[in-house]
Chain A
Amino acid sequence: QVQLVESGGGVVQPGGSLRLSCGTSGFTFSRYDMHWVRQAPGKGLEWVADITFDGSDEFYPDSVKGRFAISRDNSRNTLYLQMNSLRVEDTAVYYCARGGVDFWGQGTLVTVSS
């Protein structure tokens, strides 16, 4: 069955960096675009980044553009999110989702606090 498992969350100071990973199984990872979506505590869903199936294109909303970078390793069936210059408002549960948002991981919590 399709599985997505996020890891790498934790507590980081403002201005710091963190790298999230999303390990996948149960489907041909290299055939799918992938997403990162976040949810601040008690708030709604916010799209964070997209990457095409082959890694040739990346897309970001203005809120994270220039600070976050999505990447993938199709040989390892793994998706990544490099987060730099973190701000308090980046505190959220970060989910990875398969293209079409048909399958989601359980999420990993990122807390940005001094």
Chain B
Amino acid sequence: EIVMTQTPLSSLVNIGQPASISCRSSESLADRDGNTYLSWLHQRPGQPPRLLIYKVSYRFSGVPDRFSGSGAGTDFTLKISRVEAEDVGVYYCMQSTQLNTFGQGTKLEIK
């Protein structure tokens, strides 16, 4: 089983400031088909998760461009260029290269 490890587990950020979340996998997520199946999801309290980023760096439809994803192999990063109040909640990375595994989640709060 591929283990996904996120850091930090919580983050306190001022509105308008950047935020960054890291996700490390226990094995390379590069698939034989040339794709890397690493996604980022956001969950607000009481809501289902919603997809932000898929295949490392592709923003899902309707996701603001202040969200960006990067990385390769086993190390990946989600960046928010300027945090807004609506960005609070928990962020998860998820790999789908070998079955599916989620990271533990990173809670983002506003200072």
Distance between Cα atoms of A105 and B92 in the complex (Å): 17
Instruction: Kindly state the separation between the CA atoms of A61 and B101 in the bound complex, as whole angstroms.
Output: 9
Is A59's CB under 8 angstroms from B48's CB? no
Q: Give Cα A47 to B95, complex, Å.
A: 11
A35/B51 contact (C-beta < 8 A), A44-B92, A101-B39 known: no
A-B contact pairs, 9 of them (CB 8 A): A44-B90, A45-B94, A47-B99, A47-B102, A61-B1, A100-B39, A100-B54, A101-B41, A107-B48
Query: Which residues of chain B are within 8 angstroms of A62 by Cβ–Cβ distance?
Result: 1
Nearest-CB distance from B8 to chain A (Å)?
15
Among B43, B49, B100, B103, find the residue whose CB has the most chain A CB atoms closer than 10 A: B100
Q: Is B105 an interface residue (CB 8 A)?
A: yes
Residues on B close to A: CB < 8 A? Answer: 1, 39, 41, 43, 48-51, 54, 60, 90, 92, 94, 96, 99-105
Interface size on A, residues (CB 8 A): 19
- A29: Cβ under 8 A from any B Cβ: no
Residues of A within 8 A of B101 (CB): 47
Known interface pairs A101-B49, A104-B49; A45-B99 also in contact (CB < 8 Å): no
Evaluate contact between A50 and B51: CB separation under 8 angstroms.
no
